[in-house]
């Protein structure tokens, strides 16, 4: 998958005609402005897409750097494969919400296929999302060498789902909306749009997503306060191979994006309201205060719900609703146990390798089964002993 995370915009630079990014999909800092990447020939259009695909310039001395030496036939095949993959994605865009969102917003300015994508540390990556000079628009750089080495050339059906995953970065880097600035330890409790269970039942899926976004801006946290994933490796979706991060907070930010996408699934999709209504209500009625990936080696559980006792209840929202704050934790490097209610949904993968859709089902079942305070009485004291240091 791509190795970029939401960070500051940057200025483009070229080194031996190879795109050099000052950050990658797991880091912050400056990003190459893709407008400056030289291209060869005209752009290739895709019916129904607001962007074109271009072949970027390369240099013979650099094409083999970190990748295969490419023939002209390889480059032509890369363009054709990427183009056909996007045709498939557009035909199935209802299955890929991030792709659909990006297309509606015209977030992707263009796609540039280059021989090799290299960062300022000399590391190569298969994909890179780079901001442009146009607010809200980005360029997707694709390494032709990587496509060849991974066997994607002439196989658009294999490449399509891989490209679809890149759109979480297209959407996040194109998002120019002001981000809330909250001091650690502080929450805007009174302004939280807390709803009653009756109100939540009457809302549409999109209305619930809108309220969830407001909760992100007020008090619902999706990053572990202990920052236990800083500097840790991450899993690509569906893989059990750990990938080293490029920057200390790369993995933390990657999993925050995945958690937020999963939570949107839970509150939007009718299936969750039908099967796990307690999860939908608990996310929107003030009970859940933290939902985050963590690294806790001392415990072998895959998920855990921690609820503060009655004497630590807090007043939340304009209606002064009294709640006992709960934290839902996902132990990144653990697999589900056979007796976990979500065991079949994980397919034997570590928690950190689950897709947003799988993660949504895991979280929903965890809340549905364990949000009741009385069932958590034994966990609070024991889990406090194994909190990340």
Give the tens place of pLDDT for each residue, 11-47.
Answer: 233 222 333 333 334 333 333 444 445 666 688 999 9
What are the distances in angstroms from CA 102 to CA 7, 139, 322? Answer: 18, 12, 39
**Domain assignment of residue 84, yes or no:** yes
Largest CA distance in the chain: 70
Mean pLDDT of 111-117: 90
Predicted confidence at residue 93, as pLDDT, reads 87
Specify whether 350 is located in the same domain as 255: yes
Predicted confidence at residue 3, as pLDDT, reads 36
| Residue of 60, 22, 253, 16 whose CA lies nearest to 8 | 22
Specify whether 232 is located in the same domain as 269: yes
Q: For residues 93 and 89, what is the distance between their CA atoms, to the nearest angstrom?
A: 5
Chosen domain end from 109, 141, 174:
174
Q: Residue 156 pLDDT more than 90?
A: yes
Specify whether 222 is located in the same domain as 293: yes
Specify whether 301 is located in the same domain as 354: yes
Vertex 106 angle, CA 179 and 26, to 5°: 50
| Residue 158 belongs to domain spanning | 14-174
Specify whether 270 is located in the same domain as 125: no
Q: Residue 318 pLDDT more than 60?
A: yes
Mean pLDDT of 311-337: 92
More confident call, 359 vs 68: 359
Specify whether 121 is located in the same domain as 169: yes
Specify whether 78 is located in the same domain as 114: yes
| Residue of 169, 165, 113 whose CA lies nearest to 141 | 113
Mean pLDDT of 58-84: 75
Specify whether 361 is located in the same domain as 236: yes
Write out the two tokens for 108: 């992707």
| Predicted TM-score of the model (pTM) | 0.59
Start-end of H helices in the chain? 60-63, 72-91, 97-105, 144-149, 156-174, 197-202, 205-218, 250-268, 270-275, 277-284, 343-346, 356-370, 373-385
Specify whether 169 is located in the same domain as 201: no
Among 23-27, 85-89, 106-110, which is the least confidently predicted range?
A: 23-27
Specify whether 238 is located in the same domain as 378: yes
């Amino acid at each position: 998958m791509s190795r970029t995370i939401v960070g500051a915009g940057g200025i483009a630079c070229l080194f031996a005609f190879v795109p050099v990014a000052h950050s990658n999909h797991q880091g912050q800092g400056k990003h190459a402005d893709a407008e400056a990447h030289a291209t060869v020939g005209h752009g290739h259009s895709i019916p129904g897409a607001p962007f074109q695909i271009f072949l970027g310039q390369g240099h013979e001395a650099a094409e083999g750097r970190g990748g295969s030496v490419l023939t002209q036939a390889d480059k032509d095949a890369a363009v054709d494969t990427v183009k056909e993959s996007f045709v498939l994605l557009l035909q199935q865009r209802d299955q890929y919400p991030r792709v659909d969102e990006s297309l509606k917003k015209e977030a992707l300015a263009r796609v540039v296929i280059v021989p090799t994508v290299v960062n300022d540390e000399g590391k190569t990556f298969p994909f890179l999302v780079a901001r442009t000079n146009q607010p809200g628009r980005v360029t997707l750089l694709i390494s032709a060498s990587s496509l060849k080495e991974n066997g994607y050339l002439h196989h658009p059906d294999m490449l399509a789902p891989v490209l679809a995953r890149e759109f979480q970065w297209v959407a996040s880097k194109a998002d120019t909306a002001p981000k809330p600035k909250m001091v650690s330890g502080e929450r805007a409790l009174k302004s939280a749009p807390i709803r009653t269970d009756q109100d939540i039942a009457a809302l549409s899926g999109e209305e619930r997503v809108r309220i969830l976004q407001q909760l992100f801006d007020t008090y619902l946290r999706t990053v572990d306060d202990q920052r236990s994933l800083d500097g840790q490796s991450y899993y690509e979706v569906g893989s059990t191979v750990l990938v080293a991060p490029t920057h200390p907070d790369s993995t933390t930010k990657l999993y925050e994006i995945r958690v937020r996408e999963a939570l949107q699934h839970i509150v939007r999709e009718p299936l969750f309201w039908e099967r796990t209504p307690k999860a939908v209500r608990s996310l929107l009625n003030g009970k859940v205060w933290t939902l985050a990936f963590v690294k806790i080696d001392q415990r072998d559980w895959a998920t855990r719900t921690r609820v503060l006792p009655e004497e630590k209840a807090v007043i939340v929202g304009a209606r002064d609703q009294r709640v006992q704050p709960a934290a839902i934790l996902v132990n990144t490097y653990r697999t589900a146990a056979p007796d976990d209610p979500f065991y079949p949904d994980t397919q034997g993968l570590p928690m950190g390798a689950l897709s947003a859709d799988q993660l949504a089902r895991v979280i929903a079942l965890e809340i549905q089964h364990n949000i009741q305070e009385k069932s958590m009485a034994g966990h609070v004291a024991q889990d406090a002993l194994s909190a990340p240091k």
